[in-house]
């Protein structure tokens, strides 16, 4: 099975292809530094500049948050939770790190499969 990898859409030719790649990409939104032992917020949002359909036969069914090889959390969505109109599927996770993390987000579209973000390093601030 194919795993689609993040691509910077500013390097992509063609509006349709930019839209396709952006709206399926899982983006991590969080600070670059966390405090050990304290709650740290990580938003996973699918699509940045473009929205994805929320149709019954075509929607983002789940997202995952990974730290290295360890999955921290997975959110499953029911089709229609975004009002059946195009939007960015989105969830905020609250995790408590002990050491530096290598975060990855994943998203599954029921028509266009699995998408993995780039890895984001989060350092532990002193």
**Residue ranges in contact with its own copies by CB under 8 A:** 1-3, 37, 39, 54-57, 61, 66, 68-83, 85, 87, 89-98, 102, 104, 108, 110, 112-114, 116, 119
Name the minimum Å distance from CB 123 to its own copies: 16
| Residue 19 host element (H or E) | helix 15-24
| CB of 98 closer than 8 Å to CB of 36 | yes
Cα–Cα dist 77/56, whole Å: 11
Residue among 15 and 111 whose Cβ is closer to its own copies:
111
Cα–Cα dist 40/28, whole Å: 13
Name the minimum Å distance from CB 71 to its own copies: 6
Residue among 33 and 76 whose Cβ is closer to its own copies:
76
Name the minimum Å distance from CB 52 to its own copies: 13
Name the minimum Å distance from CB 19 to its own copies: 18
Residue among 13 and 29 whose Cβ is closer to its own copies:
29
**113: left (phi > 0), else alpha (psi -120 to 50), else beta?**
left
Residue among 12 and 61 whose Cβ is closer to its own copies:
61
| CB of 44 closer than 8 Å to CB of 105 | yes
Cα–Cα dist 31/73, whole Å: 18
């Amino acid at each position: 099975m194919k795993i689609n990898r993040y691509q910077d859409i500013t390097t992509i030719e063609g509006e349709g292809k930019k839209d396709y790649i952006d709206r399926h990409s899982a983006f991590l939104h969080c600070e670059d530094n966390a405090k050990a032992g304290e709650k740290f917020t990580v938003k996973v949002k699918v699509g940045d500049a473009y929205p994805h359909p929320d149709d019954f036969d075509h929607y983002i069914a789940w997202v995952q948050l990974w730290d290295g090889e360890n999955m921290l959390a997975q959110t499953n969505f029911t089709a229609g939770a975004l009002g059946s109109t195009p939007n960015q599927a989105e969830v905020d996770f609250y995790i408590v790190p002990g050491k530096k993390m290598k975060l990855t987000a994943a998203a599954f579209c029921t028509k266009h499969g699995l998408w993995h973000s780039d890895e984001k390093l989060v350092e532990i601030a002193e």
